[in-house]
Chain A
Amino acid sequence: MKFQLPSWMRGGGLTTYAVLYMVFLYVPVLFLPLFSFNDGIYIAFPLKGFTVKWYEAMIETESLQAALFNSIRVAASVSIISTILGVLAARAFTRYRFVGRKPTLGLLALPLVVPGIILGIALLIMANRLGIPLSLFTIGAAHVLIATPFATFVMISRLEGFDSNLEEASRDLGETGWTTFWRVTFPLALPGIVASLLLTFIESFDEFILAFFLSGTDATLPIYIWSQLRFPKRLPVVLALGACILLFTVITVAFAEWVRRKGVKLTPKSED
């Protein structure tokens, strides 16, 4: 048997570039965990020795715990609401051909491209005019707006290759609409739903600018981090917190993407 390198390791210049690009993508962020274990108040070389005291300080900070709890509450609500909306919308787009389908898709993509600061300002003014007090609710509502298109596109990519013959077959075999849904449609859509729940959770959990404009007295985690950046003494704790958030995010997103892409062809290929 001939030993062969994996395809990405052959191919010279382009491969080298790809590896360097990945380094560029990941290394800057890796400084956060690196210095979170550094036994010194300054984020500078040389490293002073290993410590976990910043993590201890992080766990003991009560305002941080409150912010974490707020973020989880908002993100969980946003992920459930936007995924439900996303499933319904994706079903409409993939199952039915109707007048105004394309413009509606375009409208749906808008919250993803409109600059966050403009959405934040617009929502702030509306809340003010309607007399809605700024709170975790206003942050959550804004997050639903940006998470729903995200959930819809995740679900569309899952349902697109979906063979409606399967549903018809199920009906021909005597299943009712409801049992067809539970036994055919739902299992096929499930990986998309799981991915959408996780990804929208992270999207809300990490979102800063909308929360910044729409927060009342209760802070979410990114708002808390922002408020700490002014105090150089607090930076090592922010690094520890950042490292934890990064680890949590990376694991969740990697898992969600793996679930989502597993079994789905990258692009529909009718010829093969």
Chain B
Amino acid sequence: MTSEAQTAPPAGTIGRLRTVVKGAIFRNAGLRGYILLSPTLLVLLGAMCLPVGILAVYSLWTQSGVEIDHTLTLANYLKIFNKPSYMLLIGKSVLISLTVTLATVLLAYPIAYFIAFKIKRHKIVWLILITIPFVTSYLLRVFAWKIILGYNGIINSGLKWLGVIDQPLTFLLHNPTAVVITLAHAWAPIAILPIFVSLEKMDRSLLEAATDLGDSPLQRFLRVTLPLSIPGVVAAAMLVFIPTVGDYITPQLVGGPDGMMVGSLMHAMFFRANDWPLGSALAIVSALAITVTSLGVWFLTKQARERAV
């Protein structure tokens, strides 16, 4: 077999082979699709799947002094599960993110509804107005809240200047509430778009049917519009919840010791404590906590929806 490949085959065979390969590529849409996709898939595999795989392996190693012990062990995970302060921090991060998610989605829904149903012309202008803050520097948006809520910040100095207060309010910055407000503001725009899309593509004749059958506007909203927009709401919730749990900038800038989240601890493991394996395990546990909570929320909405229908 190999000798056949090595000795140059007659030109006709190569030509025929080329036609066959070309033909296969031309006819097989799947193959052509994957050829176009291959550079992107390579980036995804090399810069996401591979590193996350290495992260998982790393979490099974242990740090002993400056050396890494390469024996596979669950020691890091046991350390995390047995240390209440770590588990509490993860729990608190999830709780803060859930609060942020709830606030963001509740605030976003009316806007999405407004743009989908009340705006007849210039929808694009509104959509662009919503997209702009989402793409502008996250760091600067969070930083803005630090100078607003600070001890000598904009609110305190403003109120003092107006004579409303004598002493700066201390409850504004450096607590979980500041983190929730800042995150809810920073992630607000991303929640609007999925809800808007689900409302926009809704079949309007269903609304007319509901009205014709005697539903009041409120009944119509609760029985038709809201249930049909739930997929958008769930998508919005996930888009806000998943990234915020591990957020580093916001707790660092406005959280203070009370508003600390798991992102700060992960960072500390890598740049201060220099325990990379433990930091990796922490990242994996946080990712698991995010996944489990997301699946839980998704399951509960699904149940609620099925019961309603």
Interface residues of A (CB under 8 A from B): 6-8, 11, 14-15, 17-18, 21-22, 24-26, 28-29, 31-32, 35, 42-46, 84-86, 88-89, 91-93, 95-99, 101, 104, 107-108, 110-111, 113-119, 121-126, 128-129, 141-142, 144-145, 148, 152, 199, 202-203, 206, 208-209, 212-213, 222, 225-226, 229, 235, 238, 242, 245-246, 249-250, 253-254, 257-258, 261-262, 266-267
Contacts and interface: CB of A to CB of B under 8 A. Distances in A.
B107 A21 contact: yes
10 contacts: A22-B129, A29-B144, A115-B286, A118-B52, A148-B40, A222-B137, A225-B140, A242-B140, A267-B197, A267-B200
B38 to A, nearest CB: 8
B23 interface: no
Interface in B247-275: 247-249, 253, 263, 266-267, 270
B33 A206 contact: no
B285 to A, nearest CB: 11
A125 B40 contact: no
- The contact size tier of chain B is 35 or more
Contacts of A8: 114, 118-119, 122, 126
Q: Which 7 A-B pairs have the closest CB atoms?
A: A44-B157, A98-B30, A115-B246, A96-B33, A122-B51, A92-B36, A206-B137
B40 A7 contact: no
A29 B144 CA distance: 6
Interface in B129-188: 129-133, 135-141, 143-145, 147-148, 150, 152-154, 156-158, 160-161, 185, 188
B31 to A, nearest CB: 8
A14 B114 contact: yes
B128 A254 contact: yes
A257 B127 contact: yes
A212 B266 CA distance: 13
Given A206-B136, A222-B137, A145 B55 contact: no
A113 B128 contact: no
Nearest to B49: A107
Contacts of A108: 40, 44
A18 B157 CA distance: 29
B136 A253 contact: yes
Contacts of B144: 28-29, 31-32
Given A29-B141, A122-B51, A225-B139, A115 B123 contact: no
B304 interface: no
A157 to B, nearest CB: 11
A235 B253 CA distance: 14
A46 B129 CA distance: 30
B32 interface: yes
Nearest to B182: A28
Given A15-B114, A44-B152, 19 more contacts: A14-B114, A85-B43, A88-B39, A96-B30, A111-B44, A113-B239, A117-B266, A117-B267, A124-B270, A125-B280, A128-B276, A144-B47, A152-B40, A202-B135, A206-B137, A206-B139, A206-B140, A229-B143, A261-B124
Nearest to B123: A266
A117 B47 contact: no
A142 B113 CA distance: 36
B50 A126 contact: yes
A89 B37 contact: yes
B283 A118 contact: yes
Contact of A17 (B58, B114, B161): B114
A28 B51 CA distance: 37
B283 A117 contact: yes
A98 B29 contact: yes
Contacts of B102: none
